[in-house]
């Protein structure tokens, strides 16, 4: 059976469509807002949504996502609370959901527990930013038992040999980081994107999504020209930060996403 993430890319491909993959931090500004945001992101044109699990030491994230984690952590939510929120989200939307986390919260919860409960809640894929393929055999095997897609990052500095190891472990799609460094909106896409995509394409037929630094329609459009999907994180999280106290937060974030992909498709 074709899994949800793969099916999404398959459905886009015949018409030349490309995936829009927004990232939001779960629990920012609170879990109720997260539950309302995900269906609105789908209505705004999202094909897959990444849900970031807040962590106190997000070393790969820039200041925007760091602040969002801090806001969510103040509520004292547990990983189980985020999975309960996913169950509620699933009453409204079947959009593929990727859990985006550091390993420490998963280690505390228990890897087997996380895989079982995430699958039961309705998660489709998991991206743990500090688990590497070289150390991820148990992790990948555990996700496979529960039919969850493990997604790994490829960086511009990844060698062809290492890319081969990474894509062997991936399911769903490969996440190409557009540049070295932490997350955060940038003025322009890195020149490293195309060479990195070429090395990945040579090693796999899996869809490729590009993220880190995408914040404007022209950047989404540029990524769609060369990859299968564009991941937008910090720019959307910044909108949540800006409008977090507004009663119509989801519609404001949705309007921003429509601007991103409307301008990109025009």
DSSP 54-87: P-S--TT--HHHHHHHHHHHTTT--HHHHHHHHH
CA neighbor of 92 nearest in space, from 27, 31, 36: 36
Which member of 50, 117, 124, 149 is catalytic?
50
Please give the sequence-ordered ranges of beta strands (E in DSSP) within 194-260, or none if there are none: 208-211, 229-232
Which member of 28, 40, 61, 124 is catalytic?
61
DSSP secondary structure code for residue 201 in this structure: H
Report whether 54 contacts 77 (CB < 8 A).
yes
Active-site residue flag, 50: yes
Within 8 A by CB and 6+ apart from 197, the residues are: 176, 208, 210, 226, 227
Just list the catalytic residues.
Answer: 50, 61
């Amino acid at each position: 059976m074709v899994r949800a993430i793969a099916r999404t890319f398959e459905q886009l491909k015949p018409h030349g469509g490309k995936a829009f993959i927004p990232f939001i931090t779960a629990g920012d500004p609170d879990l109720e807002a997260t539950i309302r945001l995900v269906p609105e992101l789908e209505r705004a044109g999202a094909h897959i949504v990444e849900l970031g699990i807040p962590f106190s030491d997000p070393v790969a994230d820039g200041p925007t996502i760091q602040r969002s984690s801090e806001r969510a952590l103040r509520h004292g939510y547990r990983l189980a609370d985020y999975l309960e929120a996913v169950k509620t989200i699933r009453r409204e939307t079947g959009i593929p959901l990727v859990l985006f986390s550091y390993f420490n919260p998963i280690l505390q919860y228990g890897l087997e527990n996380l895989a079982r409960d995430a699958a039961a809640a309705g998660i489709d894929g998991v991206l743990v930013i500090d688990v590497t393929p070289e150390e991820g055999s148990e992790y990948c095997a555990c996700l496979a038992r529960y039919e969850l897609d493990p997604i790994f990052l490829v960086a511009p500095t990844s060698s062809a040999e290492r890319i081969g190891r990474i894509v062997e472990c991936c399911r769903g799609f490969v996440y190409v980081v557009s540049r070295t460094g932490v997350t955060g909106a940038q003025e322009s896409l890195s020149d490293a994107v195309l060479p990195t995509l070429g090395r990945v394409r040579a090693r796999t037929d899996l869809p490729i999504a590009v993220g880190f630094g995408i914040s404007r329609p022209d950047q989404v459009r540029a990524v769609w020209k060369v990859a299968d999907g564009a991941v937008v994180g910090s720019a959307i999280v910044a909108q949540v930060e800006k409008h977090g106290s507004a009663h119509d937060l989801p519609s404001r974030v949705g309007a921003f996403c429509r601007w991103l992909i409307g301008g990109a498709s025009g």
